Structure 1
Amino acid sequence: MPTPTPDHRSGSDSRTLRDALGCFGTGVTVVTTLDRDDAPVGLTANSFTSVSLDPELLLVCLNKKSATLPWFERAEAFAVNVLHIGQQETAQRFATPDIDRFRDTDWEAWSTGVPMLCDSLANFECAKFAEYDGGDHLILLGRVIRVRFDSDRDPLLYFRGGYRALHFD
């Protein structure tokens, strides 16, 4: 007889829901912008998706508890940097609070001035198109201005609370 799986119902414990959502493997991104002094800020996020090809829109969801959230709320532009399998340390650094996340990070500015992480699997420079309340997250919608990507690398993946690599049979 199979082991019963946890059952989540609206209003019950959020851990069960989080564990169930963790069954969906995602890519890992670092979302970046500038603070009021034009210093780079960023955070790790794995809730990222394409929205539309015409117009060219994407979205990312940012935790409202993040200390960097106010800069994204004020920003006119931001970047989504998709990480490759060799950038697990970068993902960890941008997920760690109260450190200088850019100290050991190579980056460059494109037309909007926002930081684009060098050596990423893909970079999306975006103008803010809209933002929406998403409960404990801010849903940030961006109009893509410029893209760069490396088709020769594999993505860094996140699944069931840990980083993963693609596996081919």
Structure 2
Amino acid sequence: MLALCETETQAAADNFRQAMRHLASGVSIITAGTGADRSGFTATSVVSLSVYPPRLLVSIDERSATWPLIELNGGFTANLLSSGQKHLAEVFAGRTGLHGAERFVGSEWREYLYAGFALEGALATVHCRLEEVIERHGHRLVIGEVLGSRTLVAGALVYIGGRFTAL
């Protein structure tokens, strides 16, 4: 016998959240802004949309303080975190009470014109120009045209089971 699917209830949302915690995801810090007017957040919804042409897709909560800076400056940088950068994942996830430019203090960052800030020592950085935005369910699905990227050889940081874990 077939089981009925849950409808759009709080229970369904909670169950979905629990199910997604079993999906291991890479951990990134998405940055935007210029100078002291900068912001960033920890993201696990970062996807390689296409290799040719190179495009990156990021899901951003519409309440994010970083979204207006991406929209204003027309770009962002995705910093894919290495296994030793768990503390930064916590900081940019808002778990330390720091906001905006305060989150960048204590780490080395390189600013890119229109494309936010690259974290020195990140597993990879991908600089993007804002190409398209799709609004759905309180989020912005942001498609970035890749302007450049760089990589390092290191272990990755992943998010699974509600925790950041070194891989």
State the 4+ residue runs in structure 1 displaced beyond 4 angstroms.
Answer: none
SS of alignment partner, residue 85 of structure 1: coil
How many angstroms does 1:135 deviate by? Answer: 0.9
1:35-54 Cα deviation digits (max 9, x unpaired): 6x762211111100101111
How many angstroms does 1:98 deviate by? Answer: 4.4
TM-score, normalisation: structure 1: 0.85
Q: Using the alignment, how far apart are the partners of 2:108 and 2:71 within structure 1?
A: 24
Change (3 A) 1:113 1:66: closer
- 1:9 aligns to 2:10 (yes or no): no
Aligned ranges 1:44-123 → 2 under 5 Å: 44-96=42-94, 98-99=98-99, 100-112=102-114, 114-123=116-125
Task: Give 5+ residue unaligned stretches, structure 2.
Answer: none
1:92-116 Cα deviation digits (max 9, x unpaired): 1111154311112210123546211
TM-score, normalisation: structure 2: 0.86
Amino acid at match of 1:20: A
Report the aligned-residue RMSD. 1.9
Aligned to 1:3: none
Q: Using the alignment, how far apart are the partners of 2:123 and 2:143 within structure 1?
A: 21
**Does structure 2 retain, via aligned residues, the 8 Å contact 1:8–1:17?**
no
Identity, % of aligned positions: 28
Task: Give 5+ residue unaligned stretches, structure 1.
Answer: 1-6
Q: Using the alignment, how far apart are the partners of 2:6 and 2:69 within structure 1?
A: 35
Q: How many residues are paired up? A: 158
How many angstroms does 1:89 deviate by? Answer: 0.4
How many angstroms does 1:33 deviate by? Answer: 0.8
Aligned to 1:21: 20
- Residue among 124, 130, 146 paired with 2:148: 146
1:123-167 Cα deviation digits (max 9, x unpaired): 00111111111212211110111111012x11100002011222x
- 1:131 aligns to 2:162 (yes or no): no
How many angstroms does 1:73 deviate by? Answer: 2.7
Aligned to 1:4: none
1:50-98 Cα deviation digits (max 9, x unpaired): 0111111011111122233222232311100000110000011111154
